[in-house]
Amino acid sequence: MNESKGSSVLKRIEAAKGRKVLPMHEFLAESDPETLDAFDRFLTCSIYRDDGLPESIKEMLLACVCVTAGSSQPVIANHCRKALAAGLERDLLVQALEITAAVMATRTLAIGINSVIDAENS
């Protein structure tokens, strides 16, 4: 597709505060710059917008979502660090992570119990 469009999106990502170009960005810049551009604009209007949630709450939410999504511990720690640096109280961050764990545990237990119910009814 349009290599210059892909390059310009990579430059936009690289220039943005707190962002870095990832291998997936480079791949999309070469193979599908239109998708990379649309995806980056979506991220800019959601995660990276400055006029929405307070930074501390946004980073707390990102930490919890990353736990749920199975992101690596360093990624989650980075969001926790940013939440605390933005003024979030440690107890609130811990409670949010506990709520995340409780929801995940409930979902896991429900799947297991529903499987037992299905097995007994078949």
Class of residue 59 by CB neighbours under 10 A (exposed 0-12, middle 13-18, buried 19+): buried
**How confident is the prediction for the chain on average, in pLDDT?**
94
Indicate if the pLDDT at residue 1 is higher than 50.
Answer: no
Long-range pairs for 98-101: beta carbons < 8 A, 24 or more residues apart:
99/64, 100/64, 100/67, 100/68, 101/67
> Are the beta carbons of 95 and 118 closer than 8 angstroms?
no
Q: Is the pTM of this model over 0.95?
A: no
Residue 101 CA from chain centroid, whole number = 16
d(C-alpha 99, C-alpha 93), whole Å: 10
CA 86, 91, 94, 96 dihedral sign is: negative
Q: Note the pLDDT tens digit of each residue in 66-108.
A: 999 999 999 999 999 999 999 999 999 999 999 999 999 999 9
Per-residue model confidence (pLDDT) at position 45: 93
Q: Which helix (H) or strand (E) holds 102?
A: helix 90-121
Q: Which helix (H) or strand (E) holds 59?
A: helix 55-69
Confidence grade of residue 2 (pLDDT, cut at 50, 70, 90): low
Mean pLDDT of 53-73: 97
